[in-house]
Structure 1
Amino acid sequence: MAMQNPYNQYKENNIMTASPENLTLLLYNGALKFIHQGKMFIEQKNIQKANDAIIRTQDIIQELNITLDMQYEVSKNLRSLYTYIIERLVEANIHKDTAILEEVNGMITELRDTWKEAMKLAKIGK
């Protein structure tokens, strides 16, 4: 029986026990990680790995999109933004365009930072 890497086991436990708020934060951070990888692989001319990283980013944004609670107005705005981000990721992947990835990176960073601030404010309000 193979031993599991302790770091991977820690990450898996962290995800499995995360609150919905923390899980959203983890998803944003994961998207940013894969955008960075996509840019790096494009610069290295590793087309397959760039494609894989960009698709993983798309998958994360799609997951965020489909889990929106549409009874809130902010969800409608987020749906539009997530749809735009996915369209830009597809374009970046087709053209292997790091400038588009930079644009998307900025949007996701802003979403992540806003989410972190909202989490802090929610804790203060409790």
Structure 2
Amino acid sequence: MVYSHDIKKYREQYISTMTPPELVTLLYNEIIKNLKKSIIAINNKDIDGAHNSIVSAENIILHLIKSLDLSYPISFNLLKLYEYMYDCLIKSNVEKNSESITHIINMVADLRSTWVQAEKQSRMNSFKSEAK
């Protein structure tokens, strides 16, 4: 029998060995998961469940905002996107609007795809450099 403590310990160890792009991808996945749960909750008239799922996604976005290294120009673009998503989620949470939540899911999915592609490109460049 696997204990929840063992699962938590494994997850912490797994996360601690991830690269920064892998961590960002994981956070994007968590946002998407929470927002999908919120849509299901909205459809089931589970107001508290929807609220909790949206707040979880908002908290992850806040973490992403706090983690930005603003010494890179692209970080300002990400900051604007994250702030937009956060503001939309606050409004969606008040209105319980699944359409705007779906819009944010699509935005995060696009960002996730970009990060995954960038990580692949970075690894390819790393292998090319090592081969020289």
TM-score bracket for this pair, using the shorter chain length: over 0.9
What pairs up with 1:1-126 in 2 under 5 angstroms?
A: 3-4=3-4, 7-126=7-126
Alignment partners' CA distance in 1, 2:66 and 2:4: 32
Alignment partners' CA distance in 2, 1:92 and 1:4: 33
Name the amino acid aligned to 1:30: E
After the TM superposition, which parts of structure 1 deviate over 6 Å for at least 4 consecutive aligned residues? none
Structure with bigger RCO (C-alpha 8 Å, 6+ apart)? 2
How many residues are matched?
A: 125
- What SS does structure 1 have at the residue aligned with 2:4? coil
Bigger Rg over Cα: 2
Alignment partners' CA distance in 2, 1:14 and 1:41: 30
Question: Structure 1 regions of 5+ residues with no counterpart?
Answer: none
Alignment partners' CA distance in 2, 1:14 and 1:23: 10
Question: Structure 2 regions of 5+ residues with no counterpart?
Answer: 127-132
CA RMSD of aligned residues (A): 1.6
TM-score normalised over the length of structure 2: 0.88
TM-score normalised over the length of structure 1: 0.92
Alignment partners' CA distance in 1, 2:15 and 2:42: 29
Aligned-pair identity in percent equals 30
